[in-house]
């Protein structure tokens, strides 16, 4: 059961610590006070989809935490299998708690913690289905579409194996049918497909590409291009120093000529001698630098041929990647699939008669499993119809007749039956489809009757009803209240309601109030008893104007003297 719920910065709720008890708890408050936000918060902590819009205006993060106790065996099993409790622990027996926390962030960095360990939303959704069952107005609308009725019948059916056997038989039949259908395609088209596959396989295999080759080629091309640029620069520098056929005088030659020009005059002046010595040193240094340049240039590995080859290879690989998937790995995957498809076509052409024989056997198996499923569904439909009639009487359908109607239909993944719920809400009326006779309030009560039966097959500890009272009043409201109270003997029942008849029957009562402070809206949740509860029931009955008669009616509904 859900013991407490902590909400921080969710919509109008800045902060709330909500303690919940066993039995039947009613949540009431004026329209817009934030009752739906509490349900949204519970759904968030159970792994349902959330939105950034849930985060309170002006805040960056929001948090919802929940504590569960009296865990079912299935919950404990899932927690053990996923490492959230030790094998030696049994939370269902020793009374330990399951604590779930979900943190929402505006930047999308959302987090989940299960028993203080990091978790995932997908596992949270899995475990959430074993903890709480939420029923809202949307669930009632599902009853209007007969396409959903098989779900309720199959959930009630005891023999799940017959459903699993049918699904396997159907999938096998569809698989073999697709293989034969491919063979029945126009022969010319089939040959074209085989030719294309052979061409693609040959093209990819001859390419001999491997994972990461593009990155290796790009790195080598960059290296070669840098080598080419440096070599060109060194060549130009060397030419300026040492010269070639296109340069009349190089730097070294000009210095040598200067040395020769002064060689005859070095003895005439010490100053000229000093200049002469500098020129000789410069000639030697320039020659040395030119030699160093030549030596370094020769050590560089640059090959225009290699560069062109690498670039052509990279272009070719990029073309293949573009055609077959986007990465080298995807090209390899495409090759495997193409080989499998080609082998399948070639095998099937040779063994078409074998496939036809397999299809006949698959069809026989499908029919057998379909008959078994229809038989089990028919038995379950009779039992479910009788039980729903009894439950309908408890929610003010005194003379209602109910039938789960089954007819044979074509084979689909859901079975080979058309399943539709028929009802006669009043004495003497013929059975008709729900969509044609049920109002909104009637749908809520019918769904409650159906769910009351299916709940007994669930292993959850908590049932939440979000405005199950929509469209009902008077005697029907009293009957629904009694039904919820009866359910609370087996489950923890939490109900958001606008009806005094339902709220007054609850064992516990939480009031949701909205206030405005400093230009902001705040929602508070508190447990009410005694005088506060009498006033809240009176408010629900008549609005904000509470007369003595209304006040006394509220006391009477609560059994207060």
Top mean-pLDDT range of 232-236, 263-267, 507-511, 545-549: 507-511
What is the 8-class DSSP label of residue 456?
A: T
- Residue 420 clears pLDDT 90, i.e. is over it: yes
Among 324, 354, 370, the domain boundary falls at: 324
Residue 300 lies in a domain: yes
CB 141 within 8 A of CB 440: no
State the pLDDT confidence band at 89, using cuts at 50, 70 and 90. Answer: low
Do 538 and 497 lie in a common domain?
no
Residue 139 binned pLDDT confidence (cut-offs 50, 70, 90): low
Indicate if the pLDDT at residue 150 is higher than 70: yes
pLDDT of res. 185: 65
Q: Say whether both 128 and 239 belong to one domain.
A: no
Q: Which residue has the tokens 């002006």?
A: 58
Residues 6+ apart with CB under 8 A from 498: 28, 31, 467, 469, 540
Is 409 part of any domain? no
The lowest-confidence range among 100-114, 206-220, 254-268 is: 254-268
Q: 128: which 2 tokens?
A: 């959430």
7 with 96, same domain: the answer is yes
Report pLDDT digits (tens) over 496-520. 998 999 999 999 999 998 888 877 7
Domain boundary (292, 324, 356) is at 324
Residues 399, 393: Cα–Cα separation, whole Å:
7
Lowest average pLDDT, out of 63-67, 153-157, 170-174, goes to 153-157
pLDDT value of residue 457? 73
Query: CB neighbours of 177 closer than 8 A, spacing ≥ 6?
Result: 359
CATH classification at residue 75:
3.40.50.300
Residue 222 shares a structural domain with residue 105: no
List alpha helices for 157-250, DSSP H.
160-183, 187-207, 213-242
* pLDDT, tens only, 286-330: 889 888 888 887 777 767 888 899 899 999 999 999 888 888 888
Show the tokens assigned to 545: 């104007």
Residues 27 and 109 in one domain: yes
Residue 521 lies in a domain: yes
**How many angstroms separate the CA atoms of 538 and 551, rounded?**
6
Q: How far apart are CA 6 and CA 20, in angstroms?
A: 11
Last residue of a domain, one of 301, 324, 347: 324
Residue 357 pLDDT more than 70?
yes
Residue 306's domain comprises 213-324
Helix, strand, coil share of the chain (percent; to 5):
55, 20, 25
The pLDDT value recorded for residue 187 is 64
* Same domain flag for 91 and 217: no
Q: What is the pLDDT of residue 94?
A: 46
User: Which of 525, 551, 556 is CA-nearest to residue 540?
Assistant: 551
3-state secondary structure 370-392: HHHHHHHHHHHHHHHHHHHHHHH
Residues 157-213: tens digit of each pLDDT: 988 899 999 999 999 999 999 888 877 766 677 788 889 999 999 999 998 888 888
CB < 8 Å & 24+ apart, contacts of 154-158: 154/377, 155/454, 155/457, 156/380, 156/383, 156/384, 156/453, 156/454, 156/457, 157/376, 157/377, 157/380, 158/380
Contacts of residue 309, defined as CB under 8 A and 6 or more positions apart, other chains included, come to none
pLDDT of 236 higher than 80: yes
- The answer to whether position 182 is within a domain reads no
Tokens representing residue 6 in the block: 């902590």
The answer to whether residues 520 and 543 belong to one domain is no
Same domain, 22 and 78: yes
**What secondary structure letter does DSSP report for 55?**
B
Q: Can you say whether the dihedral through the CA atoms of 312, 317, 322, 326 is positive or negative? A: negative
pLDDT exceeds cutoff 60 at 333: yes
Q: How far apart are CA 385 and CA 458, in angstroms?
A: 19
Angle at 369 between CA 366 and CA 375, to 5 degrees: 135
Sign of the alpha-carbon torsion through 236, 242, 246, 248? positive
Average confidence (pLDDT) over 96-114: 90
Domains of the chain: total: 3
DSSP H or E stretch at residue 51: none
2-34 pLDDT, tens digit each: 999 999 999 888 888 999 999 999 999 887 777
Strand order across the beta sheet in which 61-68 lies: 13-19, 2-10, 61-68, 98-105, 111-114, 117-118
Q: Are residues 126 and 252 in the same domain?
A: no
- pLDDT at site 341: 87
Instruction: Give the up-direction half-sphere exposure of residue 233: CA atoms within 13 A in the CB hemisphere.
Output: 8
pLDDT band at 561 (very low <50, low <70, confident <90, very high): very low
Residues 245 and 283 in one domain: yes
Give the Cα separation of 382 and 375 in Å (integer).
11
Share of the chain above pLDDT 90, in %: 37
Residue appearing with tokens 């290699």 = 306
- For 554, the 3-state DSSP assignment is helix
Question: Lowest-pLDDT range, 133-147, 368-382, 515-529, 541-555?
Answer: 133-147
Instruction: Confirm if 293 and 238 have CB atoms less than 8 A apart.
Output: yes
508's tokens = 């516990």
How many C-beta atoms lie closer than 10 Å to residue 153's C-beta? 21
- Does residue 125 share a domain with residue 13? yes
- Clarify whether residues 124 and 221 are in a common domain: no
Write down the pLDDT at residue 560: 61
Rounded to an integer, what distance in angstroms lies between the CA atom of residue 485 and that of residue 154? 27
Q: What is the dihedral of CA 261, 264, 267, 268, to 10 degrees?
A: -80
pTM: 0.65
Give residue 269's pLDDT. 82
Alpha helices by DSSP H, listed for 47-159, are 73-81, 91-94, 121-128, 137-142, 149-156
The answer as to whether 178 is a domain residue is no
| In a domain? residue 413 | no
Question: How many Å apart are CA 536 and CA 513, to the nearest integer?
Answer: 11
Q: Establish if 535 belongs to a structural domain.
A: yes
């Amino acid at each position: 059961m859900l013991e407490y719920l902590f909400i921080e910065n969710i919509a109008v709720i800045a902060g709330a610590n909500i303690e919940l008890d066993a039995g039947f708890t009613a949540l009431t408050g004026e329209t817009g006070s934030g009752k739906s936000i509490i349900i949204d918060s519970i759904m968030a902590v159970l792994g349902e989809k959330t939105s950034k819009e849930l985060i309170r205006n002006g805040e960056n993060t929001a948090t919802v935490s929940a504590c569960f106790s009296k865990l079912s065996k299935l919950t404990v099993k899932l927690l053990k299998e996923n490492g959230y409790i030790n094998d030696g622990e049994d939370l269902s027996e020793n009374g330990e708690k399951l604590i779930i926390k979900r943190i929402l962030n505006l930047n999308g960095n959302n987090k989940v913690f299960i028993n203080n360990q990091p978790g995932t939303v997908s596992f949270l959704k899995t475990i959430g289905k074993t903890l709480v069952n939420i029923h809202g107005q949307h669930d009632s609308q599902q009853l209007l579409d007969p396409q959903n009725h098989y779900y309720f019948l199959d959930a009630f059916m005891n023999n799940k194996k017959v459903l699993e056997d049918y699904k396997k038989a159907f999938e096998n039949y569809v698989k073999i049918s697709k293989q034969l259908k491919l063979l029945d395609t126009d022969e010319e088209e089939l040959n074209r497909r085989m030719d294309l596959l052979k061409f693609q396989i040959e093209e990819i295999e001859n390419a001999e590409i491997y994972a990461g080759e593009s990155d290796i080629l790009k790195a080598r091309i960059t290296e070669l291009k840098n080598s080419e640029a440096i070599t060109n620069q060194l060549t130009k520098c060397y030419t300026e120093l040492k010269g070639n056929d296109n340069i009349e005088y190089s730097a070294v030659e000009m210095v040598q000529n200067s040395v020769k020009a002064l060689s005859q005059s070095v003895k005439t002046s010490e100053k000229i001698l000093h200049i002469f010595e500098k020129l000789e040193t410069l000639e030697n240094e320039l020659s040395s630098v030119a030699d160093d340049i030549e030596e370094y240039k020769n050590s560089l590995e640059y090959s225009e041929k290699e560069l062109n080859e690498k670039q052509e290879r990279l272009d070719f690989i990029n073309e293949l990647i573009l055609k077959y998937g986007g990465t080298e790995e995807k090209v390899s995957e495409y090759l495997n699939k193409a080989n499998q498809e080609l082998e399948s076509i070639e095998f099937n052409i040779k063994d078409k008669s074998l496939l036809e024989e397999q299809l006949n056997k698959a069809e026989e198996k499908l029919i057998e499993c379909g008959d078994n499923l229809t038989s089990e569904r028919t038995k379950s439909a009779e039992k479910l119809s009788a039980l729903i009639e009894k439950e309908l009487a408890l929610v003010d359908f005194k003379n209602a007749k109910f039938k789960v109607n089954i007819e044979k239909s074509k084979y689909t993944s859901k079975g080979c039956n058309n399943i539709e719920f028929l009802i006669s809400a009043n004495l003497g009326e013929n059975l008709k489809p729900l969509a044609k006779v049920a109002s909104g309030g009637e749908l809520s009560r019918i769904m409650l009757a159906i769910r009351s039966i299916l709940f007994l097959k669930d292993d959850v500890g908590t049932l939440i009803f979000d405005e199950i009272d929509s469209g009902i009043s008077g005697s029907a409201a009293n009957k629904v209240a009694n039904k919820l109270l009866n359910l609370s003997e087996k489950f923890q029942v939490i109900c958001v309601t606008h009806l005094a008849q339902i709220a007054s029957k609850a064992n516990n009562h939480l009031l949701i109030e909205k206030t405005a402070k400093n230009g902001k809206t705040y929602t508070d949740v508190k447990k009410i008893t005694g005088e506060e509860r009498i006033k809240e029931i009176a408010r629900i009955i008549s609005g904000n104007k509470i007369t003595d008669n209304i006040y006394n009616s509220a006391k009477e509904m609560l059994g207060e003297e």
